[in-house]
Amino acid sequence: MLDCRHATLLASQSMEKRLPFRQRMALRLHLMLCDACTQFMRQLHLLRAAIGQLGRQVENDEKLVLSKSARERIAEAVAIQAWQNDEARRNPDHDSTD
Amino acid sequence: MTAPAIHQHDWLAEHGDYLYRYALVRLRDPHLAEDVVQETLLAAMQGSGFAGKASPRTWLTGILKHKIIDQFRRQQREAPLEAPDDIGDDAPGMDEFFAEDGHWAESPQSWGDPGSLLQQDQFLRILQECMDRLPKNLARIFLLREVEESDNEEICKELEITSTNAWVMLYRARMGLRKCLEMNWLGSR
């Protein structure tokens, strides 16, 4: 019989992948008999939902933007890359002949 | 020909902030998030470019995901959380949660109705704070794993989630977070 310590390990793993049959059954049986671990399992699902919610909140928070200095730095890097791309286009044989 | 340059500049203007927020959620560090946005835009300008099959944002986000995972791996190499041999089958370090006989030292409590819980800003704020208290790498692998909804399998493969190390890290992150929430959320009510 699974103890709570091992049941929580299996419960956590069951959030990653479908457990092999024997482990799945052992966990299910344990959860039927153990309120504490059933509560724990609920908490894992709640955590996942809450993290998802939190992520969506940040992703949609239009007040969160790149800082001015970061934007400038990135724009500069993009401009340099664009210039290099243009150079390469203008001299397509440059790399192979030199 | 300056047209491509203008085009790519638009990506920064149109999608830069979104990509930044996307990275921020997963990396939890403004500077790292800025870096991966830059890497993403530069990578997008190389290779065969945008094929027009998806929206530019979807395409750029796909590149960003890989850059975030690269970043995560870099972090992991520079500051490994623990030596792999520290991790056995028994998930050491969990002793504080369980009694000698394998039962809970303190039984998990109900957090209340899930639907209303997720509507409460205070709960989400405490969750943020609890995440800040986790070791950074633990928080990151947990976020990468939990925030993704569609691409889970790919992310797992990239992070080698199947390895013992990864799932023990996820287990520890979950144990730490739920304990922290129980103390601070239930304690605050």
Per-residue pLDDT tens digits for B102-150 = 899 999 999 988 888 888 889 999 999 999 999 887 888 888 888 865 4
Residues of chain A in contact with residue B20, where contact means CB-CB under 8 angstroms, are 64-66, 70
CATH of region B3-78: 1.10.1740
A88 in contact with chain B, both atoms CB, cutoff 8 A: no
Among B107, B123, B108, B121, CA closest to B189: B123
**B177 → chain A, closest CA residue:** A47
Total tally of structural domains belonging to chain A? 2
Alpha-carbon distance of B172 to B92, in angstroms, equals 10
Query: How high is the ipTM of this complex?
Result: 0.80
Q: How far is A26 from chain B (nearest CA, A)?
A: 15
Do A11 and A45 belong together in one domain? yes
Do A23 and A71 belong together in one domain? no
Q: How far is A48 from chain B (nearest CA, A)?
A: 6
Whether A76 is in a domain gets the answer yes
What does chain A come to in residues? 98
Q: Does the reported pTM lie above 0.90?
A: no
Whether A98 is in a domain gets the answer no
Whether A70 is in a domain gets the answer yes
Of residues B120 and B48, more confidently modeled? B120
Boundaries of every domain in chain B? 3-78, 95-188
Q: Among B7, B11, B14, B17, which would you mutate to test the A interface (most chain A Cβ atoms within 10 Å of its Cβ)?
A: B17
Range of the domain at A74: 65-91
Spatial neighbors of A4 by CB under 8 A, at least 6 apart, are A30, A34, A36, A37, B98, B102, B103, B104
Whether A3 is in a domain gets the answer yes
Q: pLDDT (tens digit, 9 = 90+) per residue, B5-23? A: 445 558 999 999 999 999 9
Do A22 and A4 belong together in one domain? yes
Asked if B30's CB is within 8 angstroms of A67's CB, the reply is yes
Whether A42 is in a domain gets the answer yes
Do A74 and A45 belong together in one domain? no
Do A22 and A43 belong together in one domain? yes
Alpha-carbon distance of A80 to A73, in angstroms, equals 11
Do A10 and A56 belong together in one domain? yes
